[in-house]
Structure 1
């Protein structure tokens, strides 16, 4: 099991959010977003921020850093590290299973991620066998797309998806994110898409939009 940073917004959490960081970061990266994201009337939520394993990254000259999979070139959607992605999918499954064991059903678990983490929650979440509460993909893209049509979960064909991207992102170009959005929509997924005039980052307007989206999902799950 991966080491994680964890925070709970109240006693006896009713929902969980498993949030995967981007390349070279760690589980501390998005912890500060929690107070800005949550609303006072929400039920208690457990936020889980795992640390990816340290591995050599080819595009960075083999330098070792935390990553969910290897990046072999600047065209990040080409020559994908399928073995690394699929291994991290198994680790994501373990994190989901732990939340279920702690009393949070899969239907009340959100998967969220930024950049590489967004790629992982899209690829892993859409293949997860039990229905999830939602998938949040910030500044990411959809890896292993060609295999998704046959490998996707029936239970998550209707899962709510929030995707957001910076229009001038130099790391994960917005057209790559839009390609994933369109691919998912063509498969019948409902994708709530947002674009912001920013680079490879998160902005206040994005957090507000995500809060509104999450609030709607929480309300529907607790009705």
Structure 2
């Protein structure tokens, strides 16, 4: 397969099971988010993918980042678009390799993985039905050129951010919400009094949201 990954099989086997695809942040790896796989609902396949750009010492990135830049110059857009399509193809690969329901695919992205989750979902809504978007933001430049022409009516998003995030400013997340709503996408947005991370309350809230939107 195109992306190295870890798999937690569903504890409750159906003919075809839903999928939670975990996308880690910049400088991390596939084991990071996978650490809470055992806490995720038992009917899902949980697959955690490793980003393609090797930064050495077990660190990986979906694209290069310019740390001193503003929002528009923050990202290597070309690399990000390449990763967007890698993830879209990877979804097809796992759906054909495992007993996964192609109509029940959820992306769970943190930070850079969140930014990619937004881009993949609006670019390929036929492949993704739901997104848990944590500590990131929506960057339209990473989406496909004509993404606004896509049928996004079935897409649902749970977005969250730490109100004192020092890595990805909370304003970037806040500014994303009206952009997503303008696309006709149903989105829930919550903030937590933390920095760049996932609080227990955040985890609890998105897990509840998953159960309600199964």
How many positions carry a matched residue from both structures?
A: 209
Question: Are residues 193 and 145 of structure 1, via their aligned partners in 2, closer, same or farther at CA, if it must alter by over 3 Å?
Answer: farther
* Structure 1 unpaired stretches of 5+: 58-62, 219-223
Corresponding residue of 2:51: 52
Paired residue for 2:112, among 112, 116, 120?
116
The answer on 1:203 being equivalent to 2:202 is: no
RMSD: 2.4
Q: How far apart, in 2, do the equivalents of 1:84 and 1:55 lie?
A: 13
CA contact (8 A) 2:28 2:58 kept: no
Q: How far apart, in 2, do the equivalents of 1:68 and 1:23 lie?
A: 7
Question: Are residues 100 and 76 of structure 1, via their aligned partners in 2, closer, same or farther at CA, if it must alter by over 3 Å?
Answer: farther
TM-fit CA distance, 1:157: 3.3
Q: How far apart, in 1, do the equivalents of 2:120 and 2:64 lie?
A: 16
Once the two structures are superposed, the pairs formed by residues 165-204 of structure 1 within 5 Å of their partners are: 165-204=161-200
Question: Are residues 22 and 160 of structure 1, via their aligned partners in 2, closer, same or farther at CA, if it must alter by over 3 Å?
Answer: same
Deviating more after overlay: 15-24 vs 140-149: 140-149
Once the two structures are superposed, the pairs formed by residues 17-166 of structure 1 within 5 Å of their partners are: 17-38=20-41, 44-55=43-54, 65-75=59-69, 77-79=71-73, 80-101=75-96, 102-130=98-126, 132-145=128-141, 150-152=146-148, 154-166=150-162
Q: How far apart, in 1, do the equivalents of 2:153 and 2:142 lie?
A: 16
TM-score under structure 1 normalisation?
Answer: 0.84
Q: How far apart, in 2, do the equivalents of 1:89 and 1:140 lie?
A: 15
Question: Are residues 52 and 147 of structure 1, via their aligned partners in 2, closer, same or farther at CA, if it must alter by over 3 Å?
Answer: closer
Deviating more after overlay: 128-137 vs 173-182: 128-137
* Structure 2 unpaired stretches of 5+: none
Q: How far apart, in 1, do the equivalents of 2:72 and 2:54 lie?
A: 19
